[in-house]
Amino acid sequence: MKLWQKLLINGSARVARKLGKSVPLLGTAVVIGLAGYEIKKKGLMRGVVNTALDATPVLGTAKNVIELFTGDWLADKESARQKALSGD
């Protein structure tokens, strides 16, 4: 194997290792970036709780896998249109 091939393989392995370590941080950054949308959609308390759960690396992944099968744990707030239709 030539020297440049060894360097390429070693370098790509290092990059993959570093990227693997940073994946939870990238996911947390995305969740925090979407916090405003969640708060607008679910209300202040539910939005903050949902964002906090999603931002926690292992707990957020487990929550999202369970929600894939069961639906949202924290319901969205009722919109003005839905309130008008329900008559409340």
Digit-coded pLDDT (tens) for 18-69: 666 667 777 788 888 889 999 999 999 999 999 999 888 888 888 888 988 9
Q: Write out pLDDT tens, residues 65-86.
A: 898 899 888 888 887 677 777 7
Residue 14 lies in a domain: no
Domain count, the chain: 1
What does 21-55 look like in DSSP terms, one character per residue?
A: HHHHHHHHHHHHHTHHHHHHHH-HHHHHHHHHHHH
Residue 6 lies in a domain: no
CA dihedral sign, ordered 21, 35, 48, 71 = negative
pTM score of the predicted model: 0.65
77, 71 in Cβ contact below 8 A?
no
- Parent domain of 37: 24-86
Residue 8 included in any domain: no
Residue 80 forms part of a structural domain: yes
